[in-house]
Homo-oligomer: A and B are copies of this chain.
């Protein structure tokens, strides 16, 4: 993945090093589990955004480094706790921490990563950095929780879906952008525009993620396809399909079943595809990406603005 980031590669490698340094400070078995998580890789989207947005201020890698490492650490912490909650066995093609070391270790690893992230961002004199990140973490918990609560329910709607992914994903991506600019002292209006860009980008990103959960190749995705349907989570393509398809009732029925068969999951995916749920959702993702681009337009035309535009384009065309 790192190759995608072009000239950002070197700075991202420093972020990776910083994360490794921090994680290596954890006690032995936690360290092992956290390094396993780190080695599993990932797109490093959030630190990359923080670095790029920092260029809208007086860029200094040293300055933005704690934030860039912290946003990835928090992201890792949420993944590890979510995997315990969902009982997920695989992530990015390798066993989850919870599957390999048990839920006790996974809970502790998440706590440690989160505390390490807060320690990092509290190195800024500007305490708003830690405050805004903590507030975003709260939103993420709220979003995750709403998802659990609403799962297996036929009441799931497009508006609840949007609210949920905004909290679960978009606000945090928006914060990575805003704070990257903020720690390098970009003007306030620029920070706010970048936050809006990140928010819209995050919405696009999550909609695509939810599409990929239905149609990706498992080999590429690194986890089992149809996970959301299995867990009773109605994502945008599903909600679209159940209100449009004449097989909508059947789709709803399958989604709300606990303990559905593999054949039922495949049947549900087929209904969603037939009804055009995939195409519709990608259309929505494109609209969010276009919105993200609009927030960039008034910003200074530095090379990093072009990179942010490319990310918005990548997010809606990616296959993993």
Contacts and interface: CB of A to CB of B under 8 A. Distances in A.
A257 B317 CA distance: 56
27 contacts: A26-B142, A27-B145, A27-B146, A28-B149, A30-B141, A84-B107, A85-B103, A85-B104, A85-B108, A107-B110, A108-B144, A111-B114, A114-B115, A115-B134, A115-B141, A116-B138, A118-B118, A118-B131, A118-B134, A118-B137, A119-B134, A119-B135, A122-B130, A122-B131, A122-B134, A124-B127, A127-B127
Given A104-B148, A118-B130, A127-B126, A138 B112 contact: yes
Contacts of A29: 145, 149
B108 A141 contact: yes
Interface in A128-168: 128-131, 133-135, 137-138, 141-142, 144-146, 148-149
Contacts of A116: 134, 138
Nearest to A141: B112
Interface of A: 26-30, 81, 84-85, 103-104, 107-108, 110-112, 114-116, 118-119, 122-131, 133-135, 137-138, 141-142, 144-146, 148-149
A22 to B, nearest CB: 10
B107 A107 contact: yes
Contact of A128 (B85, B111, B118, B122): B122
Contacts of A112: 138, 141-142
Given A115-B138, A118-B130, 11 more contacts: A26-B138, A28-B149, A30-B145, A84-B103, A112-B141, A118-B137, A119-B134, A119-B138, A122-B134, A124-B127, A126-B127
A141 B111 contact: yes
A101 to B, nearest CB: 11
A107 B148 CA distance: 13
A53 to B, nearest CB: 20
For this chain, the copies found in one complex come to 2
A144 to B, nearest CB: 7
A179 to B, nearest CB: 12
Contacts of A138: 26, 112, 115-116, 119
Contacts of A119: 131, 134-135, 138
A127 B126 CA distance: 7
Contacts of A137: 111, 115, 118
Contacts of A28: 149
Nearest to A143: B27
A142 B116 CA distance: 12
A103 B104 contact: no
Return the 6 tightest CB-CB contacts between A and B, nearest first. A122-B131, A118-B134, A119-B134, A115-B137, A122-B130, A127-B127
